[in-house]
Amino acid sequence: MTHHHHHGAPAVAVDRDAPRIALVGSPNAGKTTLFNGLTGLRAKTGNYPGVTVSRFEGAVETDTGIVVVEDLPGTYSLDPISPDEEVVATVLEEADTLAGLLVVVDATNLRRGLNLVAQVQQAGLPTTVVLTFVDELIRRGGRVDPEALGRALGTKVLPVVAGERRGVEALREVMATPSTWPAPIMPPPTEPDEVVGWAQSILKAAHFHAPDPDSRTGKLDSILLHPVLGSVIFFATMFAFFQIIFAVAAPLQTLIEEAFVALGEAARAAIGIPWLASFVADALLAGVGGVLVFLPQIALLFVLISLLEGSGYLSRAAYLMDRIMSTAGLEGRAFVALLSSVACAIPGIMATRTLPSAKDRLATMMAAPLMTCSARLPVYVLLIGLLVPNEARVGPFTLQGVIMFGLYLLGAASAMTSAWFWKRIVGRSGVGLPFYMEMPSYRLPRLRTVLISVWDACKAFLKKVTSIILITTVVLWALLSLPIRSDADLAAAGVDPTDDVAVAAYTLDNSAAAAIGRAVQPVFEPLGFDWRVNVGVISSLAAREVFVSTLGQVASASDPENPTEALANMTHQDGKRAGEKVFTPPTITALLVFFVYALQCMSTLAVMRRETGTWKWPAIAFAYLGVTAWVMAFLARVLTEALWA
Amino acid sequence: MGVKRAIHPQGIPGEPNAVRWVTDVDLPVGLVTKAPGTVGPLLEYGVLSKIFVERGGVWTWLAPEQSLSEHGPRIRDAVAAAVDLDGWEISEGSAELLGHIAREVLEGELASYVASHGGHITVTGSTASTLTLDFGGACEDCPAAGSTLHDRIETTVKARYPMLERVERVGGEHQGGGWLGLPVPGRGR
């Protein structure tokens, strides 16, 4: 469930003429690890069980030149039940574009893996079997002879142990010449009961002994999958995580923030042209830099996610949640999609392709944007920082971390409620198909996989910061700085043109953005927002992080040397609250709650459009989440005011 | 019967028309002259030109003008059904079958084992009960060649062809030799 940022389109600009080899395999068979091992950092795919959604490609250098590897979604069979399996089936039908297939089979689940091999071999393409987890099979008292397996299947069988380069290198060598791969003399049977007999005979010929149940995994599972104890541990893990975000990342964040402030001052001092100085200091350094400071939090989030995932715990979490999901009328697969949305709603929405029922798909898609995605993290950190001081504690825990945890919980609970609601509205789906998800054995997370996942998330974040966030920030800077005032204008307004601070304040206050912010004031007034917050909220429709960059610009314009304090001391300039502070606890709470619900993400809307094939559903999602956000924020404000008084 | 019989086909290097159907068989080992079920007609009408039974499998040869893609599934079903039927007529023991099995063992199951001994072993002849091998390469000088390798091959082939009585070596003065070329009692000539 790692951050997907190459949506649908090929991940890398790979050679169109190079031979293509596709990776086929069940979820958890080690396909993604293998793909990473083959392609290095040149491509990436998500690897949450069951959620290797879109198609990913990477280039592999072999003796005969570049070979393009395509990583297909994890699938147990080629009978298309879900849209995901359909992708695999379709690719195999269009087999003429492929030079060969690599079937990745988990040796500890060889019997089931052979079913997939039997189906894949019907495609008539050169096929090689990659056998993974042979080390685990042996550790658990099982046995297999890869050579005998290869003779029985009529194909090459290559054992590859994760973390050992040898197997990957052997595979790289083999991939150079798919046209010379041995082929079975005839395809395996297709009738299910004949396939059973075929697989049994192959297993015997390969001297296969099934592994004993993993005692380590069994012991851990008896605790971690316990209905009560397991759930407690799950929530405790999550809770600890949000404590870590504040305890570990916050000091780092302060450092980066101070660096940007220093840079901003240096820029202001060095650049002679006032508007350019303002552009560099306010727009680029205060605005974009203001978002960049959250890089440590993003990195930490993905360290944790990939640790949980790599250890096999995430599948357990999905299993635990399956029970809760069923109360919302949804199956566990939907939870997998929702869980993916903690990274980003986009892979979450794409993960709904694993859902066989169109109705469940829609309901899950409508709920996915409510899960707290990584884009909300900077907004939450900023606002929580304004709400409660660093040192505030609840017992041994930081209050900031507790609030953050609460926001994630609120997001998750709201997503469930929403899914339940939409499932009702869209209508009942037929009998639910049994949710089949494999519990992989507990494994030590691979450092390489963790690093790639974190690096990838950081790269995606930086890309977002330098594209959509940068553009929006520049536009906002223009709106906040225009129209430019002449000295005569200033004098007429009673502002001393030599007083920079007064000029900045006057310009900001009479800018085009201010006009827009004031125009929507009636809408947000009940929530306690002022025009500056309004501009932030409107601009965050492009991407949530822009809210942070907008406030950064505003604060930096008012007090370049201490933007954080400027923000905390910002007061309402007009309206019935004139003179009062803007960021009071009721307003901050309302803002936080607003961000829990509002769908402020153009990319999410675009993906919804693509996945549903119509603008109707993104429009509905945008509207219902907007209205909910306003109502919930209002309620939160009223409630906080009542408690505060 | 319910569940289908455990069976899978295996190709034979150098014998493009041959298929070794790996499955549990409780029949005499040798050349099939008459087969029950639908295997009979396949043989009679010339789809199959030859059938052998070994311990643990059935070998079929497609007639030259036939293709496996056309007949493969039918032959598989026929073999799977017939091995449980009565009515087989098999002439027990076959020099040809023993040669095929020995080659298949040496190029398949024991290939990497033989290679790890630095050798290259070929079948030079067979009768219905004896097998003659040429222990090429490093095996010629390897003192262990006489025992370890010899035993391993004999055991493996015999598991599939029980009538095997003797494995002989051609050429070389180490024939049947044991440690340092000393004769091993009870083996060889």
- The alpha carbon of residue B173 is apart from the nearest alpha carbon of chain A, in Å, by 34
Interval A332-347 mean pLDDT: 73
State the pLDDT at residue A52: 37
Interval A281-302 mean pLDDT: 76
A174 pLDDT more than 70: yes
A186 vs B73: CB contact, 8 Å cut-off?
Answer: yes
Interval A337-361 mean pLDDT: 74
State the pLDDT at residue A95: 66
B169 and chain A: CB distance < 8 Å anywhere?
no
Q: Which residues of A touch B108 (CB under 8 A)?
A: 151
Interval A248-259 mean pLDDT: 78
B34 and chain A: CB distance < 8 Å anywhere?
no
Nearest CA in chain B to A187: B69
A603 versus A560: the higher-pLDDT residue is: A603
A152 vs B22: CB contact, 8 Å cut-off?
Answer: yes
A194 vs B19: CB contact, 8 Å cut-off?
Answer: no
pLDDT tens for B66-112 read 888 888 899 999 999 999 998 899 999 899 999 999 999 988 888 88
Q: Which residues of B touch A185 (CB under 8 A)?
A: 9-11, 19, 68, 72
State the pLDDT at residue B59: 94
State the pLDDT at residue B179: 45
B11 and chain A: CB distance < 8 Å anywhere?
yes
State the pLDDT at residue B181: 44
Interval A149-161 mean pLDDT: 91
- Hey, what's the torsion of the CAs at A135, A137, A143, A146, to 10 degrees? -60
Interval A9-37 mean pLDDT: 73
State the pLDDT at residue A10: 38
State the pLDDT at residue A46: 39
In chain B, the percentage of residues whose pLDDT exceeds 90 is: 38
pLDDT tens for B140-182 read 666 655 567 778 888 999 999 999 998 888 764 444 444 444 4
**Chain A residues near any Cβ of chain B (below 8 Å):** 147-148, 151-152, 154, 184-189, 191, 193-194, 196-198, 200-202, 204-205
Rounded-to-integer distance, Cα A509 and Cα A232, Å: 50
In chain A, the percentage of residues whose pLDDT exceeds 90 is: 13
Least confident of A367-376, A490-499, A581-590: A490-499
B112 vs A147: CB contact, 8 Å cut-off?
Answer: yes
Interval A565-589 mean pLDDT: 79
Pair of tokens at residue A269: 């001092």
B76 vs A189: CB contact, 8 Å cut-off?
Answer: yes
Interval A82-91 mean pLDDT: 72
SS3 A80: coil
- Hey, what's the torsion of the CAs at A161, A164, A165, A169, to 10 degrees? -20
A190 pLDDT more than 60: yes
Beta bridge partners of residue A533, listed in sequence order = none
For A632, phi and psi rounded to 5 degrees? -65, -40
Per residue, the 3-state secondary structure of chain B, as one string, reads CCCCCCCEEEECCCCCCEEEEECCCCCCCEEEEECCCCHHHHHHCCCEEEEEEECCEEEEEECCCCCHHHHHHHHHHHHHHHCCCCCCEEEECCHHHHHHHHHHHHHCCCHHHHHHCCCCEEEEEECCCEEEEEECHHHHHCHHHHCHHHHHHHHHHHHHCCCCCEEEECCCCCCCECHHHCECCCCCC
Interval A352-369 mean pLDDT: 80
State the pLDDT at residue A144: 92
Q: Burial letters for B135-163: b for 16+ Cβ neighbours within 10 Å, e otherwise? A: bebebeebeebbeebbebbbebbbebbeb
A71 versus B4: the higher-pLDDT residue is: A71
DSSP state of A99: S
Interval B9-21 mean pLDDT: 90
State the pLDDT at residue B157: 93
Q: Which residues of A touch B104 (CB under 8 A)?
A: none
The angle, 0 to 180 degrees and rounded to 10, between the axes of the packed helices A585-597 and A376-387 is: 170
Nearest CA in chain B to A146: B109
pTM: 0.63
A26 versus A90: the higher-pLDDT residue is: A26
- The alpha carbon of residue A158 is apart from the nearest alpha carbon of chain B, in Å, by 15
